[in-house]
Structure 1
Amino acid sequence: MHLQEHSQTSRFDNLVPDATPHNHPSTLNTVKMTGGISVRDVDAQKFINAYAAFLKRQGKLPIPGWVDTVKTGPAKELPPQNIDWFYVRAASVARHVYLRKTVGVGRLRKVHGTAKNRGSRPSKHVDASGSVDRKILQALEKIGVLEQDEEKGGRRITQSGQRDLDRIAQTTAEADEEDEDEE
């Protein structure tokens, strides 16, 4: 028997048109995105930091007076150490609502909740403060990023909010590309 050259394509090559998706992290470095970049295409932490800086720079987000003294939930012992935590949480909530259809206060309480240290007893999950998440949703609603969904309840992203978030995602992706080019 004679071994054939491997230059022929496999009969399975046409079944899998593209082995890696276009938004897979390994392909983001090599493939230029032809369409617009959305929030899904950008690293979450980098996007949240960039959007929080944008919200702070813009200065339109109404901030309650109690943000420097309040805890973010009953499981926490101290208030947040970051002075800009309200902007960071607002950016996180905006991204969370962007990625889902509708989100209410109860869902955000569960997402931002944490394990409560109960001493020698086992830890339990405790939901975060509803007031903090409610005030953040109201603040984002006031600046036009979110709107109330009368049909399903909760909040959803507005068109202008989606446009703003996509624009920030685009600049974050471009800054990320420039950092990689310098290395």
Structure 2
Amino acid sequence: MANVYDVDASELVKMAAEKLKSKVKKPDYVNYVKSGAAKERVPEDPDFWYIRTASILRQVYVNGPVGVSRLRTRYGSRKDHVIHKHHHMPASGSIISDAFKELEGLDYVKKTGKGRVITPKGKSFLDKLSNEISGYKSQSAN
């Protein structure tokens, strides 16, 4: 019985993003905004919204309770400057908070006084995907 800690994070996020495509509604503005102040262009990946939402769900599972501010730091990046030092810039809070709203609508995440925490339904969703991934690996090894 595998869980989120036993499988590769990138595989889990990709698989969760595919499953969330049919469940989560993508906001219209996501195609036109940058993912943070340090970025120069909008994300090129058409599935950016679903991948970010799945990644946020995994972060809540692993690090919860977690809020928008901590995830802005987590998904932020370095701003390139020509003359002076590079500085860390936070990611877009609007994208993260809208992803939280969608995950709360699915009852995968709930809001508490200390931040968002994973619900049993969300934990079950990620654990089932982890079992599928570990099952694929054990079958391919034989």
Partner of 2:6: 41
Could you tell me how far 1:76 is from its partner in structure 2? 0.2
Residue 89 of structure 1 pairs with residue 77 of structure 2? no
Partner of 1:129: 92
Normalising by the residue count of structure 2, what TM-score does the alignment of the two structures yield?
A: 0.95
Deviations 1:80-100 (A, max 9, x none): 111001110011100100012
> The residue matched to 1:67 in structure 2 has which SS?
helix
Deviations 1:48-76 (A, max 9, x none): 111111111xx121211111111000100
Q: Which whole-Å CA distance do the structure 2 matches of 1:179 and 1:125 have between them? A: 41
Identity of aligned residues (%): 35
Residue 173 of structure 1 pairs with residue 134 of structure 2? yes
Q: Which whole-Å CA distance do the structure 2 matches of 1:49 and 1:101 have between them? A: 21
> The residue matched to 2:41 in structure 1 has which SS?
coil
Partner of 1:50: 15
Deviations 1:3-57 (A, max 9, x none): xxxxxxxxxxxxxxxxxxxxxxxxxxxxxxxxx211000001111111111111x
Correspondence list, 1:1-183, <5 A:
36-56=1-21, 59-150=22-113, 152=114, 154-181=115-142
Question: Looking at both structures, which has the greater relative contact order when contacts are Cα pairs under 8 Å and sequence separation is at least 6?
Answer: 2
The total of aligned residue pairs comes to 142
Bigger radius of gyration: 1
Q: Write 1 or 2 for the structure with the bigger share of helix.
A: 2
> The residue matched to 2:43 in structure 1 has which SS?
coil
Q: Which runs of 5+ in 1 are unaligned?
A: 1-35
Give the counterpart letter for 2:69 in structure 1: G
Normalising by the residue count of structure 1, what TM-score does the alignment of the two structures yield?
A: 0.75
Could you tell me how far 1:177 is from its partner in structure 2? 2.4
Q: Which whole-Å CA distance do the structure 2 matches of 1:37 and 1:156 have between them? A: 20
> The residue matched to 1:63 in structure 2 has which SS?
coil
Runs (4 or more) in structure 1 with deviation over 6 Å come to none
Q: Which runs of 5+ in 2 are unaligned?
A: none
Deviations 1:119-172 (A, max 9, x none): 12111000111111111111111111100013x2x1000001101110011101
